Amino acid sequence: MRTNSTKSLVEGALLAAINVILSIMALYMPILGTFATLIWPVPIVILGVRHGIRTSFLSMIVAGIIVAIISGPFQAVTIVVSFGLIGLAMGWAIKKDFSPFKVLAIGGAASLVSKIALVFISMLMMGINPLTEEINALKESLLIAGSFYEKMGMDPKTIETTIESFKRALELLPLIIPGIFIMASALDAFLTYIVTKAVLSRMGQKLRDFTPFWLWRFPDYTVAAFLAGNLLVLLETYWPIGVLKAIGMNLVLVFGFILFVQGFSLLTYYLGKFNVGKVFRLIIVFFVFFNPLFLQILFFAGLFDVLFNFRKIY
């Protein structure tokens, strides 16, 4: 018992130190910092898997205190809130031996809560809405880019038309922030699981694998939710209450992306089924992702695959 307690204490201290290093990289090293933020939850997850949520929580708090001493309380709160909760949640879920997709759902939900909490904390501690500030910064960058291209001798009417189209897109951006948050949270959880699995494998502990990507198939309600989103966007024209369009656009964004993933999974399945060489696979994927027509075909392939499961047909 004493040996286990000592081992837990040593690993907790070591991984807390790693979290502090990752925090400093995230705050002060622009390029490496991006990588550091992606893997920050991993030490917390590992501690949760190996020693339980209590040890991972204490390690997170210690790391937060040290970061607060070095960089200030706001930076510490930002780091811990942004990445600590997802680490705790996924470590707990893996410890419970949940399926990889259930772990992903729990981690994604935790990441989403963290992002929402971070917005409110920023508003409370700094008195600004970071989302509004980011959108305003994008609008200012459009004006700067327009001035730059005008000095380069481009047609002013072309520049004005392009900037206006981007401005209209930015006007819609606040409406789809929930969808962006959901997709980003799912990506956070997925990357955290993949990196954690790789690290724990090197430590002699195996995690369960996802279903092979070429066999992924999302539930039927994916199509229903996507169509419902489009319907809500259309209804806003006849019943303008201000909410239907926002809900509809977020449903279209999230479930439309899922249908793209389904289509890519189907493409991967058939590339393997017909033993297409790696070079030709890369060429096909390149043309699909950089050709709007092929992207639409991929999307509709994913949509109909959810409904009819082409893998069973052929």
Average pLDDT over residues 19-24: 84
Structure token digits, residue 226: 């996507």
Distance from chain centroid for Cα 67 = 25
Structure token digits, residue 67: 């970061």
- Kindly tell me if the per-residue pLDDT of 218 is higher than 60: yes
- Kindly list the distances between the CA atom of residue 264 and the CA atoms of 50, 112, 241, 271, 297, in Å, as whole numbers in the listed order: 35, 25, 36, 10, 10
Residue % of the chain over a pLDDT of 90: 39
Give 309 or 166, the one with higher predicted confidence: 309
Per-residue model confidence (pLDDT) at position 4: 59
- Kindly tell me if the per-residue pLDDT of 303 is higher than 90: yes
Contact 191, 83 (CB under 8 A): no
Average pLDDT over residues 56-80: 88
| pLDDT mean across residues, the chain | 87
Map out the domains of the chain as residue ranges: 2-129+176-202, 213-313
Give 21 or 257, the one with higher predicted confidence: 257
pLDDT-wise least confident of 17-21, 155-159, 269-273: 155-159
- Kindly list the distances between the CA atom of residue 117 and the CA atoms of 13, 99, 122, 253, 255, in Å, as whole numbers in the listed order: 27, 27, 9, 22, 24
Per-residue model confidence (pLDDT) at position 3: 55
Average pLDDT over residues 52-70: 89
Structure token digits, residue 83: 């990445």
Per-residue model confidence (pLDDT) at position 19: 83
Average pLDDT over residues 59-72: 89
- Kindly tell me if the per-residue pLDDT of 1 is higher than 50: no
What CATH class has 2-129+176-202? mainly alpha
What pTM, to 2 d.p., does this model score?
A: 0.86
Closest by Cα among 211, 300, 228 to 264: 300
Average pLDDT over residues 113-127: 86
- Kindly tell me if the per-residue pLDDT of 98 is higher than 60: yes
Per-residue model confidence (pLDDT) at position 17: 85
- Kindly tell me if the per-residue pLDDT of 242 is higher than 80: no
Residue % of the chain over a pLDDT of 70: 97
- Kindly tell me if the per-residue pLDDT of 2 is higher than 60: no
Closest by Cα among 14, 178, 199, 193 to 86: 193
Q: What would the pLDDT profile of 130-139 be if each residue is shown by its tens digit?
A: 778 777 787 7
Q: What would the pLDDT profile of 136-188 be if each residue is shown by its tens digit?
A: 787 788 777 777 777 777 777 777 777 777 777 778 888 899 999 999 999 99
Average pLDDT over residues 237-249: 79
